[in-house]
Structure 1
Amino acid sequence: MCSGSFAKCLGITLIPLAIVCVLCNILLFFPSGESVERDQITDEVFYLGGILGSGVLMIFPALVFLGLKNNDCCGCCGNESCGRRFAMLSSILFAAVGVVGAGYSVIISSVAINHGPKCLNGTEWVYPFNEGNYLSDHDMWSQCDAPKDIVHWHLSLFSVLLVMGIIQMALCAVQVVNGLLGALCGDCCGCCGGSDGAV
Structure 2
Amino acid sequence: MCSGGCAKCLGTTLIPLAVLCTLANILLFFPGGEVINNNSHITNEVWYFGGMLGSGVLMIFPALVFLGLKNNDCCGCCGNESCGKRFAMFTSIIFAAVGLLGAGYCFIVSAVALNRGPICNDGSKWRYPFENGNYLSNTTMWALCKSPENILPWHLTLFSLLLIMSGIQVVLCAIQVVNGLIGTICGDCTCCGCCGHSQNYDTHTRK
8 Å contact from structure 2 (residues 115, 132) kept in 1: no
Separation (CA, whole Å) in 2 of partners of 1:75 and 1:131? 57
Deviation of the 1:20 alpha carbon: 0.5
Supply the distance in 2 between the matched residues of 1:103 and 1:63 (Cα, whole angstroms): 19
Give the match for residue 113 of structure 1.
114
Aligned mates of 2:133, 2:109 — CA distance in 1: 20
Give the Cα–Cα distance (whole angstroms) in 2 for the partners of residues 77 and 90 of structure 1.
17
CA distance in 2, matches of 1:64, 1:95: 9
Structure 1 residue aligned with 2:130: 129
Aligned to 2:29: 29
TM-score normalised by the chain length of structure 1: 0.97
- Structure 2 match to 1:195: 198
The separation in 2 between residues aligned to 1:132 and 1:68, in whole angstroms, is 43
Give the 3-state SS of the residue equivalent to 1:135 in structure 2: helix
User: Could you tell me the TM-score, scaled by structure 2's length?
Assistant: 0.93
- The 3 A distance-change label for structure 1 pair 132 and 4 is closer
Q: Shift in Å at residue 72 of structure 1?
A: 1.4
State the Cα deviation string for residues 29-85 of structure 1 (Å, max 9, x = none): 000110002111000000000000000000000000000001113221221101100
Q: Does 1:6 align with 2:9?
A: no
Tell me which amino acid in the other structure corresponds to 1:161.
L
Task: Give the drift of 1:141.
Answer: 0.3
Structure 1 residues 132 and 178: CA distance shift in structure 2, 3 A: closer
Root-mean-square deviation over aligned CA pairs: 1.2
**Identity among equivalent pairs (%):** 66
Higher helix share: 2
User: Residue in 2 aligned with 1:53?
Assistant: 54
Match of 1:184 in 2: 185
| Residue identity opposite 1:14 in structure 2 | L
Amino acid at match of 2:88: A
The amino acid that maps onto 2:82 is S
Residue matched to 1:18: 18
Q: How far apart, CA to CA, are the structure 1 residues paired with 2:125 and 2:16?
A: 38
Q: Could you report, residue by residue, the CA deviation over 1:107-158 in whole angstroms, capped at 9, with x for unpaired residues?
A: 0000000000010111211100036711111100000000111011001000
3-state SS, counterpart of residue 61 of structure 2? helix
The one-letter code matched in structure 2 to 1:5 is G
> Given residue 28 of structure 1, which amino acid in structure 2 is its aligned partner?
L
**Which has the larger displacement, 97-106 or 76-85?**
76-85
Match of 1:100 in 2: 101
Unpaired runs of 5+ in structure 2? none
In structure 1, runs of 5+ residues without a counterpart are none
C-alpha distance 131-79 of structure 1, shift in aligned 2 (>3 A): closer
